[in-house]
Structure 1
Amino acid sequence: MVLIASYNIRKAIAADRRRRPERIMEVLGEIGADVVILQEADRRFGERHSALPAHLLAEHGYQAVPYEMRHGSIGWHGNAVLIGPHVAIERQQPLHLPTLEPRGAVLADLVVPGGRLRVVGMHLDLSGLWRRRQARSILDDLQAQPYWLPTLLAGDLNEWSRGGCLRDFGLHHRPLALGPSFHARRPIGRLDRMFVSNGIIVEECGVHRSPLASIASDHLPVWARIRIE
């Protein structure tokens, strides 16, 4: 069994508008996921260094998948993948997306308890037109991979409708019924999504709600407990 979480951490800026990365790590500690897919993991200005210091990741037993696209960053355009001690990295790849503003996605092939798993993390555009183009680009990249693996896609899709890019991802992947995760204090928007391919059994899934999660970011984390067939 593998526990996967996805979390838009808002550059670790808490409800009091101060950067508090320790709160993000405490929320991740509440969840205890084997793999964490992050959005907005880099600071917004300057050299765009990681919003989560390396020592905090290590103290909580996490390692960032090394995309090495920008010095001081743990991902690509704010998208990052953290793994726990029972997960190994087999291969990783940044994905370039069509966009008018800086956007990207990340792919990681992992060895997890029970098998091998491909994860894709993303944070899509505010524009519906560009979201669909980005979704199709990600799906094309998956088709172009040198080998197939059971795949979980997750992230902040910025999709308020029931169609759009959800329809694109849903053509060959099953959407998970996670519930609303935005805004963290009074969640009404189902912006944070997960999809899985064949080869993955979803045992349970949902939104992580706690007093700390309601103030650590403007999104709540979503999670899924899965098994590789």
Structure 2
Amino acid sequence: MPSLPPTDDPRHLAPGPRPLLTLLPVAAVLASVALVLALTGGLPPGDDGGADLRAAEAGTTPTAPVAATTRPTQDVLEAPAAIEPAPGQRARQLRAALEPGTAVPDRQTALPVRRLARQVEERTTCQPETVERELTVLSYNIKSGFASGRGLQLDDYARAIAATAADVVLLQEVDRNRAFSRRTDQPGILGAQLGMQNAFGANVLRSGGSQYGTAILSRFPIEESANRLLPFLPGKGMQQRGLLHATIDVDGVPVSLYSTHLQNRSEPSRMAQARAINQVMAADPLPKVLGGDMNAHPTSAPMRTLAATMVDSWPSSGAGPGFTHPSVNLRGRIDYLLHGGSGITPLASSVPAVTLSDHRPVRTTYQVQGVVETC
């Protein structure tokens, strides 16, 4: 039989297979330490967890220092050198930190574990919270950016809209790349000047990339948008119309916005378009606002049709007749803001005294209410 080396130090023993029952406790320790390291962001600088485990198993000290691990300072609680744990002690402390009911004397280990438990609890415990916010919406037919008798005046429109302090603007008669309006990108320009996101719905397409339609501007994030073409009855002076939809995030509460412009020369067209809009409104469960130039008076058949799914915001929150057209000699109300769905209530409506276009804008402040999960 070969003789043993002149020492009984286990490091000098010849390597060989270890019994399975001997390896299992070591594997459990390694797994526990790995879990703590992953959750707390690693060991403090200069602390070699692997060396401590090997030393704890062999009853010896590591023979070479290991380079410090760089971690964000907010995750590191540095311990004074005087209380640096002895070799092998760190591994025992980390393992103890995972075992319920076991005291962990080392503040450098205990605090990160407690902080981690608090962070996990905060992140995984979600509570419903009721959110109430005011949302001011403006609907405005801007006549392709032209001001009466003064040509293209997008800057004036931007200033007039800004003066209303609207959070959301629903626009009609908006151009993009039309020669008629100097190839301007009107939703992009107005959005940039007002600090708002924009969505555009092209309803009339002409050669050279010319587009004409509706737009939505929003101070709140626009989550998604889509344009739907409304029924079109051919005839002299008839024009394709559409319904532009955008969903915005109002401090966690999703709200649907719609901008439209109904046909001006045909009551049958307006009726067909109103019925198509009703189908969309009925299928939308969110709190919603529909605004636009309806080319119809409040008691007309198209407006009575829209009343099946939406509520005219003016009667409960505005004062007076609410006339919007024509802007310099008001005689009728054909521009509207309507609301629907739960969690939205009109608070105040007005017609700002702006005469740039042949229409005046209509403005309503709503209270929007919803339940969001706070984690």
TM-score by length of structure 2 reads 0.54
Question: Which fold has the larger relative contact order, with Cα–Cα distance below 8 Å and residues 6 or more apart in sequence?
Answer: 1
**Structure 2 counterpart of 1:175, from 285, 305, 312:** 312
Matched residue of 1:41: which SS? strand
Residue number in structure 2 paired with 1:10 = 143
Which structure shows the higher helix fraction? 2
Q: How does 1:1-229 map to 2 (within 5 A)?
A: 1-42=134-175, 45-46=178-179, 49-50=183-184, 52=186, 54-65=188-199, 77-84=212-219, 87-99=220-232, 100=234, 101-113=239-251, 115-126=253-264, 127-145=266-284, 148-160=285-297, 162-177=299-314, 179-199=322-342, 200-209=344-353, 213-214=354-355, 216-229=356-369
Letter paired with 1:157? M
Whether the 8 Å CA contact 2:323–2:331 is kept in 1: the answer is yes
Amino acid across the alignment from 1:193: Y
Q: Which has the larger radius of gyration?
A: 2
Distance 1:37 1:56 in 2: 12
Q: Check whether the contact 1:124–1:134 (CA below 8 A) recurs between aligned residues.
A: yes
Report if aligned partners of 1:192, 1:222 keep a CA contact under 8 Å in 2.
Answer: yes
Shifted more, 135-144 versus 102-111: the winner is 135-144
* 5+ residue gaps, structure 1: none
Q: Which amino acid aligns with 1:155?
A: G
Q: 5+ unaligned residues in a row in structure 2: which ranges?
A: 1-133, 370-375
Question: How big is the shift at 1:65?
Answer: 1.9
User: What is the total number of aligned residue pairs between the two structures?
Assistant: 219
Paired residue secondary structure (1:79): strand
Q: How has the CA–CA distance of structure 1 residues 192 and 83 changed in structure 2, closer, same or farther, with 3 Å as cutoff? A: same
Distance 2:357 2:298 in 1: 23
Counterpart Cα distance in 2 of 1:92 and 1:194? 19
Secondary structure at the aligned position of 2:174 is classed as: coil
Shift of 1:11: 0.5
Cα 1:72–1:3, aligned 2, differ >3 Å: closer, same or farther?
farther
3-state SS of paired residue (1:155): strand
**Deviation, structure 1 residue 207:** 0.8
Q: Is the 8 A contact 1:108 1:118 kept in 2?
A: yes
Are 1:77 and 1:105, in contact at CA under 8 Å, matched by a contact in 2?
Answer: no
Whether the 8 Å contact between 2:174 and 2:187 is mirrored in structure 1 is: no
For normalisation by structure 1, the TM-score amounts to 0.85
Root mean square deviation of aligned Cα: 2.5
| Residues 77-113 of structure 1: CA deviation (Å, up to 9, x unaligned) | 42100012xx011221101111132211101111124
Structure 1 segments of 4 or more deviating over 6 A?
A: 68-73
